[in-house]
Structure 1
């Protein structure tokens, strides 16, 4: 069966309902800092460190803890679908106090909890910080954010999780990453033609209901593999994305423009100031009011093209318009302004996204 060049797999268009990641978070202590930890004014750090010492039969009052080598931190991670006991997770460690830097620190064992309050993983290990901060005598040298670090594979899953893919109706639901009625209908049609007739139907713009036959329920993995590899041609919504900060314009090559005439003129204004010293010529002793003065000479130059550029656009695409503007040596920022004006005139048949 011939497959069109612009068709892609169903699995690249979304996910199965029930497939999700779970956020887990914990509160811990980073030790081993070289005097860059939380200050003694941070009562939370002193209380937390006193609690740690109490677990080792060391009774110390929180007000007696005086150390800038520790910092209280928040630890976050994402628990993936079908995580098993013993799997490792990457964690992110962020300072929760007034520590100046976490460079060189090591995270003590920290339980990570989900929204239900249950512990799913334990985190511990030396931090990797992509920055630094050093200060002495009022001089500070800093790179990036030294109060945020990570520990690759620093958390171990203690409680596994699983996803319930099949629903009570003995089927699965495929959710589109970008809801679209046309794409949902095409996915259902492609599944019915490539896997089996009558298996799928478009529920709405975001979901496609897929029936699981009795013979495939015991081999659900193989059945979903067939569904994920079904080839379909998704429908694209016309969009033009522009970024004014970087001067970038991205659009589909077939975004249409109705009949419109664009007149573009370039005006260049140059203002330059020359400062020179005026030295008086004096013979003999100079009086108290005779001195050197700084004189500023300002010049304004205005340059304009011989005539405005004229770009006719009759049933063209954005690509044709941009190519025509490039022939007039129009810079990217002017092209952005022109596209916004064309959209305001109602001639650009696409969603204009300004970043």
Structure 2
């Protein structure tokens, strides 16, 4: 029960902070200012016998040697236990320029046992349009560990077939951003809400002037912006630091059926309802008794079993919710009655089925 009270307390604290003013940059993102996914295929070499000998690895190895002017016969199948074929992927942030670096992740795509100790050879990272935007290379940092015994037993800690290379790729081409195009800047809300969009529109208009901002829908607010690059940057810097109060979240109750965690939103209210809570406890215990014979008899001591059955019925408790009951009243009633989280889940489901809860009940 104490754990449940703690969850409710955290919920109330988080809701209290969420009601405060927030900056525009914390609740939205500028349309067109986004990262782009890059992916490539390469080889990791220098592995201590934990590589692989698949066909595509051999083919890739031969192609690499051909690039250096070394030609192997087609019938030759090199034994390369220290090489692994890998997929390399990364995200290219907005406005990242040629010559700057980005982090990359390297993952084995074959039967390699581990990438620990390996080095990624030069790999081209391409975007969705097929163009190369970065070139990756470097030594891997692998957090996982794997060990295998002669009898086939194996121990794996984390994932040894995935590694990272901090600053492992050099950007070769910048991605064009629509930020400097057109006469508008559009803010896309992280949590779409019509009230939040309207409040953001009003906040910008109060600063810049009437009709400067327009809420397009629940997720987007379009704002007039200067075309000059330096002016637009300064203009956006001012707008993204404006503070306003987003709308409260929708009434919602989230129940985790596996852990028994229950989070009740601030705006959850109940219709008039009466709830009865009670329980029946049946306890069965086995007690062993020793049976002693009379002093002059030839009997033997024996052990007899005695069953003790105890039925305990808790007093049924009932409480009534009047119209417009809020979260504070609900928590107070729950604490007074002493309902366990498991019982509360059943009560919430019954209230939702009866139409006595105004919010959405989500069970995960």
Same fold (TM over 0.5): yes
1:117 aligns with 2:130: yes
Distance 2:318 2:338 in 1: 12
Aligned residue for 2:231? 219
Deviations 1:117-167 (A, max 9, x none): 111011111222221111121111111222222112211111122421255
Aligned residue for 2:42? 28
Q: Which runs of 5+ in 1 are unaligned?
A: 275-296
1:318 aligns with 2:327: yes
1:17 to 11, 22, 31: 31
Aligned residue for 2:246? 234
Deviations 1:220-258 (A, max 9, x none): 111111211222211122222222222222233332222
Matches within 5 A, 1:264-303: 264-267=277-280
Deviations 1:167-202 (A, max 9, x none): 53x111111122221111111111111232221111
1:94 is displaced (CA, Å) by 1.1
1:58 is displaced (CA, Å) by 2.0
Aligned residue for 2:342? 333
1:208 is displaced (CA, Å) by 1.0
1:73 is displaced (CA, Å) by 0.7
Q: Give the 3-state SS of the residue equivalent to 1:60 in structure 2.
A: coil
Question: What's the TM-score once normalised by structure 2's chain length?
Answer: 0.81
Aligned residue for 1:145? 159
1:7 to 18, 21, 34: 21
**Once superposed, what is the RMSD of the aligned Cα atoms?**
2.7
Distance 2:73 2:339 in 1: 71
Aligned residue for 2:59? 47
Q: Give the 3-state SS of the residue equivalent to 2:235 in structure 1.
A: helix
1:23 is displaced (CA, Å) by 0.4
Distance 1:5 1:136 in 2: 57
Distance 1:126 1:257 in 2: 59
1:90 aligns with 2:83: no
1:305 is displaced (CA, Å) by 4.3
Runs of 4+ in 1 over 4 A off after TM superposition: 267-274, 299-305
Aligned residue for 2:216? 203
1:114 is displaced (CA, Å) by 0.2
Name the CA shift for 1:143/1:256 in 2 (closer, same or farther; >3 Å).
Answer: same
Distance 2:264 2:204 in 1: 30
C-alpha contact 2:40 2:126 (8 A) present in aligned 1: yes
2:117 to 55, 79, 104: 104
C-alpha contact 2:180 2:229 (8 A) present in aligned 1: no
Q: Which runs of 5+ in 2 are unaligned?
A: 1-17, 288-304
Distance 1:300 1:144 in 2: 51
- How many equivalent pairs are there? 326
Distance 1:75 1:226 in 2: 38
Distance 1:29 1:209 in 2: 46
Name the CA shift for 1:325/1:143 in 2 (closer, same or farther; >3 Å).
Answer: same
Name the CA shift for 1:194/1:240 in 2 (closer, same or farther; >3 Å).
Answer: farther
Name the CA shift for 1:11/1:301 in 2 (closer, same or farther; >3 Å).
Answer: farther
C-alpha contact 2:278 2:314 (8 A) present in aligned 1: no
Name the CA shift for 1:136/1:234 in 2 (closer, same or farther; >3 Å).
Answer: same
1:301 is displaced (CA, Å) by 6.6
More helix by share: 2
1:217 is displaced (CA, Å) by 6.1
2:316 to 303, 308, 318: 308
Deviations 1:257-283 (A, max 9, x none): 222222233455678999xxxxxxxxx
1:157 aligns with 2:184: no
